[in-house]
Structure 1
Amino acid sequence: MAFGRLVEFTSPYLRQLTCCMDVRSKQEYDESHVITARRVKKKANEYLIPESVDLECVKYCVVYDNNTSFLEILKHDDDDDSSDESRQGPVLGAAIQCGKALTHLTRHPIRILKGGYERFSAMYHFFRTQKIIWMPQELDAFQPYPVEIMPGKIYLGNFRQACDPKIQKDLKIKAHVNVSMETGPFFVGDADKLLHIQIEDSLEANLSPFLRHLCHFIEIHLELGSVILVFSTLGISRSCAAVLAYLMHQNEQTLKRSWAYVKKCKNNMRPNQGLVTQLLEWEKIVLGDVVTDILEPLY
């Protein structure tokens, strides 16, 4: 149960495949809601899907209420003060009720926002709004944010995002790991806050000599409570390889398992074959042997 990485869905292409639905009251919705979220009305115990939404064309449908945290069925307390109605047994949170009602309308799984609007808006206040009607040019102006690898601690992005002062401020970025040839505008000359691994985006690029320092750099900043952005030019190959190496080291886990985790966070990640080979060697260093079989498709 998760938001499905909303930060990536703000790009024009992915936005066409995404729908965010708010099942809270009208008063709560009017006070503030997630950007572009549509309110789902309820009439006679039936959820009314907004006419502008075609769930057949939607790949990522995210539903949220106030604070649903678990998919398990909730139960009323059977104390002496409970009414007969409150003792009728299991109940579902509004988001889960709505999600179940929508499952027959789409080919893809319905996603529930963990912790609801309360948790999400507390963590990502910059995604809150009172605006209901959006012009096409306003929607196209939205830019994707980096994806979370460790919530509120490690983000994975591209060079453009690393140069955006609003993103740095919103995510409270305090350190950069730059795995590209370009030089960004932040933390220049500050080796304590910037680790710049200058390698080309090619099969010959050698990331291996930097992996121990990379892991040490990230560990230090996590201990300090710093938020870290790891990025490369496009945020698809080199930076993803760097994040994979750190997760393998930190969790003492296989490349395959780390790959599956990062893939769920960023579905377009694609380290080149040269980097994958180096990550297999890193797996041998971390675990004492090569466990992942690259003959089995990682993608």
Structure 2
Amino acid sequence: MAGLVLCEPTELYNILNQFNKCSRLAELNYLCLLDARTKSEYNESHIITAKRVLQNENGEYLCPTSVELESLKYCVVYDGNSDTLGKGTPAIDCARILEQRSRHPIRILKGGYEKFSACYYFFRTKKILWMPKEIEDFQPYPAEIIPGLLYMGNFRQACDPQIQKDLKIQAHVSVSEEPATFFSTESGRLYYIPLPDCTEFDLLFYLPAICNFIGSYLVSGLAVLVCSRFGISRSSSVVMAYFMYQYRWTLQAAWMHVQKCRNNMRPNRGFVKQLSDWEMQIHRVAITDISDPNY
């Protein structure tokens, strides 16, 4: 059997917000999100796209007939407030049934609906039926890199006032050739570098000032969004540089963390080389082997 693992609310948030050209929620074998609470609780409010898991006449949970668990990338189950794998709860009981048919671990949402909805109230809904076109048109939010503090996204997300409100974004770092975002440079809340996504641009020169700008907000508990046009290359380079600078992480550790939050992030080769140079400046030695195909 595949087993059970706890899923932090920020992990589910990032799973819900993965996208390529459109939301990955539109992929049939990407995510099955199951609500193991009572019917009345589910009808009152649930997490977007979640389906209520059904039970037979004996109260035993049933595997969803419309889902191929064997090929599913993520299966997440939640109830009201489960926060451990060690006791029988609706989410645990349901997951025990599901794991018998899954190749991947079944995730139990830590803290359940109560904790997730408190952190991400804007992902609560009463909507039960979702048409395929609605899922395709779902507009993802920025990836959450540090819960409640640091986000990474694209230019569209940086211009969306609802996203700034929902995530309580207080400042932007924009590394893009796009014009001003929701904030302006005059406000002091935008650090803007008209940076092209090309291997020759000297990003390394700006990294100390960028990291200090981000840190000046985060130390006060104020959220920052780092953005570029597509939120894949330039923004991920800056976020990794911040982790290396602030926490003295290696490039490899920073890379793995950011990739877990946004799985299609991909700095261009020039930025990878500059991040390696940044690692050498911080640690006095190049620790990460960037000749590895993973980079």
- The two structures have a TM-score, normalised by structure 2, of 0.89
* 1:8 aligned to which of 17, 29, 40: 17
What residue number does 2:243 align with? 247
What residue number does 2:78 align with? 64
Q: Kindly indicate whether residue 193 of structure 2 is the aligned counterpart of residue 197 of structure 1.
A: yes
CA–CA distance in 2 between the matches of 1:9 and 1:278?
26
Q: Which moved more, 1:284-293 or 1:54-63?
A: 54-63
Structure 2 spans left out of the alignment, 5+ residues: 1-5
Q: Kindly indicate whether residue 177 of structure 2 is the aligned counterpart of residue 163 of structure 1.
A: no
Alpha-carbon offset, residue 165 of structure 1:
1.7
What residue number does 1:29 align with? 42
CA–CA distance in 2 between the matches of 1:153 and 1:280?
25
Q: Kindly indicate whether residue 256 of structure 2 is the aligned counterpart of residue 260 of structure 1.
A: yes
The root-mean-square deviation of aligned C-alpha atoms, in Å, is 1.8
Equivalences for residues 218-297 of structure 1 within 5 A: 218-297=214-293
Q: Kindly indicate whether residue 55 of structure 2 is the aligned counterpart of residue 42 of structure 1.
A: yes
CA–CA distance in 1 between the matches of 2:25 and 2:293?
25
CA contact 2:25–2:135 (8 Å) conserved in 1 = no
Structure 1 spans left out of the alignment, 5+ residues: 74-90
| Moved >6 Å (runs of 4+) | none
CA contact 2:17–2:23 (8 Å) conserved in 1 = no
CA contact 1:244–1:255 (8 Å) conserved in 2 = yes
Identity %: 51
Give the number of equivalent residue pairs. Answer: 281
What residue number does 2:3 align with? none
1:67-88 deviations in whole A, cap 9, x for unaligned?
Answer: 12233x1xxxxxxxxxxxxxxx
1:240-267 deviations in whole A, cap 9, x for unaligned?
Answer: 0000000111111110111111111111
What residue number does 1:97 align with? 93
CA–CA distance in 2 between the matches of 1:185 and 1:149?
20
Distance 1:68 1:15, change over 3 A: farther
CA contact 1:253–1:287 (8 Å) conserved in 2 = no
Distance 1:225 1:204, change over 3 A: same
CA contact 2:141–2:163 (8 Å) conserved in 1 = yes
CA contact 1:159–1:184 (8 Å) conserved in 2 = no
Q: Which moved more, 1:37-46 or 1:155-164?
A: 37-46
CA–CA distance in 1 between the matches of 2:204 and 2:187?
20
CA contact 1:7–1:147 (8 Å) conserved in 2 = no
Distance 1:186 1:278, change over 3 A: same
SS at match of 2:226: strand
Paired amino acid for 2:74: Y
CA–CA distance in 1 between the matches of 2:186 and 2:220?
16
Paired amino acid for 1:105: R
Name the larger-Rg structure.
1
CA–CA distance in 1 between the matches of 2:206 and 2:16?
29
SS at match of 1:46: coil
SS at match of 1:149: strand
